[in-house]
Amino acid sequence: MPSSPSNAGPLPVPISDSFCNMLTKTLRLAAATTFLLAVGELSSAELVEPGPVGARMRVLEESLDRGMPGAERAFWDEVGARGAPLVETIEGQPGYARVTFLWKGVSTETRSVRLLSGPQITNHYKHLDFVHLPRSDVWFLTLDVPNGWRVGYVLAENADPNGFPNNVTSDPLNPRHSEQDPLAPVPVSQLYSIFETPGAPPEPWFRRHEGVPAGTVEIRRIHSRVLGSDRTIEVYVPHDLGSFDRPIGSLYLFDGEEYLRDMRIADVLDNLIGERRIAPLIAIMIHDLPGDGRGRELSCDLNFTDFLATELVPWVRSNFRVSDDPRRTVVGGESLGGLEAAFAACKHPELFGAVLAQSGSFWWRPNSATSGGTDPWMAEQYEKGAKIPVRFFLSTGKDEPPPQSGLVDGLIANRRMRDALIGHGYDVKYEEIEGQHDPINWRLTLPDGLIALDPVPAKPKP
């Protein structure tokens, strides 16, 4: 069992409210990384300069040099039909694609354009400012990007080079963007855009398959005496629940709103259950508190963990026909949610027999843990304690955010957690993918985690 931390440890540095309102926490961290690089707080010694101009841009440039009438209009018509960014093969470099991001400027107003993304981009590329193509309204940035990538980004026009950009938008020329909340849609400009290079991993479970029966999602409010407040949860119930001949499994997820919106958990479960890749289960998506509440509760908070064990789980078991077998009860989350999932299972293995942690914040240490240096605290708890009957699925991107002050970065912390668990004899499935700390990473590995943690592996549908 883990010891009880006396208070929460360091949390990510907050960013201006106006920017936070426009983006998910993923792109907030990503843009913060870009900002630190721009002002010289991160080393750029190993970063790559932007790539050469792509073939399509060379054609446009030559046409403008020759004064060909209608060349720019034809270019924008083509981009409108194909979408942006432009993705081209590179002769002699089969492992890379030439990606050209575009912006249609206003000649009297546009002074600069900058691409903002996360460590998957900022860890590898030195300059992310667009170049203006003379005699046109075309601004562009060309990067030679490894094949197999799928990345989120946003753009900022006329950003203060010495300050944090607030005038941020999705790419208006790119039709692919992050998911909308169907209950609270926002303008597309407030989402983030997504591009991918050839060979990006397929996402076969992300959108509901034709003919698969759809479950339902119910919004519930429950009162917690432990927390002294009402809490919102959303419960996924599989199709035709009454037809099952025995109690079914359950899945508890923190950051419930993000799992429903960004990872499309209801569609994923419909597909996996309908195609008999996992046994039927009910999923409980727990909404975060606003502001600093999320960071406090998901940083191994004993009150929140007691709420799960003494109030939420009993409420679910009294309202739905679910199994009380911990092997069929999964607790999971992303980022700090993955940390809290590991903590909850360590405190209550009699309830939670499986942990799904995506980019778990295993770098975290409580303020009280002054001894032991920077070693991940959660790894220490499992290493030092008696082995308990809990299985794990851990996933992480290869480009997690830079480390918090005095702590290890997310990738190293996840590897350390993996090694600690395996060294202590735990059943661990671990995935490390080309990705960063965002839903694009988590939605890819989520189905793998659900399949890996299913205690009753189902046969694929014939």
pLDDT at 418: 97
> Model confidence over 52-100: pLDDT tens digits?
788 899 999 999 999 999 999 999 999 999 999 999 999 999 999 999 9
For residues 319 and 328, give the distance between their C-alpha atoms in angstroms, rounded to a whole number.
17
- Three-class secondary structure assignment of 216-273: EEEEEEEEECCCCEEEEEEEEECCCHHHCCCCEEEEEECCHHHHHHCCCHHHHHHHHH
- Is pLDDT above 60 for 369? no
Q: Which residue has the higher pLDDT, 308 or 9?
A: 308
CA distance 117 to 139: 18
Residues 422, 428 contacting (CB under 8 angstroms): yes
Specify the pLDDT at position 11.
33
Q: What does the alpha-carbon distance between residue 42 and residue 33 come to, in Å, rounded to a whole number? A: 8
pLDDT at 48: 65
pLDDT at 50: 64
What are the tens digits of pLDDT across the range 222-232? Answer: 999 999 999 99
Q: Which CATH architecture has domain 17-196?
A: Sandwich (2.60)
The answer on pLDDT for 439 being more than 70 is: yes
Q: Is the pLDDT of residue 256 over 70?
A: yes
What is d(CA 311, CA 300) in angstroms, rounded to the nearest whole number?
17
Kindly state the average pLDDT of the residues 419-426.
97
Answer whether residue 6 shows pLDDT above 60.
no
Spatial separation of the C-alpha atoms in residues 115 and 34, rounded to whole Å: 9
Q: Where are the domains of the chain?
A: 17-196, 216-453
For the stretch 278-296, pLDDT in tens is 999 999 999 999 888 999 9
Confidence band, pLDDT 50/70/90 cuts, at residue 336 = very high
Per-residue pLDDT at 461: 53
Q: According to the model, what pLDDT value does residue 457 have?
A: 55
* pLDDT of the residue at 44: 44
The predicted-structure confidence for 389-406, as pLDDT tens digits, reads as follows 999 999 999 999 877 666
Residue 3 banded pLDDT, cuts 50, 70, 90: very low
- Over residues 200-219, the pLDDT tens digits come to 999 999 999 999 999 999 99
Arithmetic mean of pLDDT, 434-446: 95
Strand 113-117 to 96-104 pairing = unpaired
Q: Give the per-residue pLDDT at 462.
A: 52
Of 290, 207, 374, 206, residue with least CA distance to 21: 290
Q: What is the pTM of this model?
A: 0.87
Percent of the chain exceeding pLDDT 90 equals 72
Q: Report pLDDT for 162.
A: 73
Structure tokens at 458: 């189902």
Q: Give the neighbor-by-neighbor strand order of the sheet with 428-436.
A: 216-224, 229-237, 281-286, 249-253, 329-334, 354-358, 391-399, 428-436
- Report the chain's mean pLDDT, rounded to a whole number: 87
Look at residue 22 in the predicted model and tell me its pLDDT: 36
CATH architecture of 216-453: 3-Layer(aba) Sandwich (3.40)
Q: Which is more confident, 168 or 36?
A: 168
Q: So what's the pLDDT on residue 315? A: 98
At 33-42, the pLDDT tens digits run 444 444 444 4
200 CB burial (10 A radius; 0-12, 13-18, 19+): middle
Cβ(296)–Cβ(229) below 8 Å = no
Residue 20: pLDDT band (50, 70, 90) is: very low
Q: Regarding predicted confidence, which is higher, 371 or 334?
A: 334
Please report the pLDDT score of residue 141 as a whole number.
96
Cis peptide before 290 (omega within 30 of 0): no
Check pLDDT > 50 for residue 246. yes
Instruction: Indicate whether 323 pLDDT > 90.
Output: yes
